Amino acid sequence: MSLVVALVGMPGGGKSTVGRHLARRLHFSFVDTDDVIRQQVGCPIARFFEAEGEERFRDIESDVLRVLLSQAPDQGRVIATGGGIVLREDNRRLLSSEAVPIYLRAGPEELFRRVRHDRRRPLLQVQDPLAKLRDLFSKRDPLYRATAAFVIETGKPSVTTLVNLILMQLELAGVVEAEHVRSSIAGASPQR
């Protein structure tokens, strides 16, 4: 089976952005579970949430995760997961057994700064989104930590720096070869 790196974390944690760059650097395919779900349900996630509810969304999310982990391409895959994927124990178990889960961690205040104008996040369409983020963070942070092989703090580093940190962690764990990481880091171009 090929290597799968799964990025977990809160909404606005950088999973999609960092995931695309990490996949490019590893020469892996990239997929975002939310993109797959949007394609399957045929509408924005916020609209689906409103019409069908969170529980139905979580069912589809779990199905998508199972399929993506079972069909990883030979060259490897990076998966950016939805923020609530760790809410189900089966998903946490699957991520831990079939992938290398990496928690991209940022505090609620930093997350709020990043997502305060984003209307596509259904759980944050409330009167006080910062309070909602604090509540979600307090419930989910322990689940992300319990699931993840590595925790990467995402506060201020650039995307390139975050990708380099992940690559070094994967090398130290013996998941990817040192030569691959060094050549990937040497070929990185600075970006934010």
Q: Express each pLDDT in 105-144 by its tens digit.
A: 999 999 888 877 776 766 667 788 889 889 999 999 999 9
Q: Express each pLDDT in 36-53 by its tens digit.
A: 999 999 999 888 988 999
Q: What is the mean pLDDT of the chain?
A: 88
Task: Tell whether 126 is covered by a domain.
Answer: yes
Task: Tell whether 108 is covered by a domain.
Answer: yes
Task: Note the pLDDT of residue 183.
Answer: 55
Nearest alpha carbon to residue 144 among 69, 84, 97, 56: 84
Nearest alpha carbon to residue 77 among 94, 56, 62, 99: 99
Task: Tell whether 149 is covered by a domain.
Answer: yes
Task: Tell whether 141 is covered by a domain.
Answer: yes
Whole domain around residue 168: which residue ranges?
Answer: 4-186
User: Cα torsion at 190, 15, 44, 96 (round to 10°)?
Assistant: 150
Task: Note the pLDDT of residue 186.
Answer: 55
**Greater model confidence, 188 or 122:** 122
- Per-residue pLDDT band at 192 (split at 50, 70, 90): very low
Task: Tell whether 80 is covered by a domain.
Answer: yes
Is the predicted pLDDT of residue 191 greater than 90, yes or no? no
Task: Tell whether 191 is covered by a domain.
Answer: no
Q: CB burial class (10 A; 0-12, 13-18, 19+) of residue 103? A: buried
The SS3 of residue 31 is strand
CATH number where 75 lies: 3.40.50.300
Span 72-100, average pLDDT: 94
Task: Tell whether 192 is covered by a domain.
Answer: no
* Count of the separate structural domains present in the chain: 1
Residues 110, 114, 119: CA angle, nearest 5 degrees: 135
Is the predicted pLDDT of residue 80 greater than 90, yes or no? yes
- Per-residue pLDDT band at 1 (split at 50, 70, 90): very low
DSSP at 11: T
pTM over 0.75: yes
User: Among 73-82, 84-93, 116-125, 164-173, which range has the highest average pLDDT?
Assistant: 84-93
Report d(CA 92, CA 131) in Å as an integer. Answer: 25
Q: CB burial class (10 A; 0-12, 13-18, 19+) of residue 161? A: middle
Task: Tell whether 161 is covered by a domain.
Answer: yes
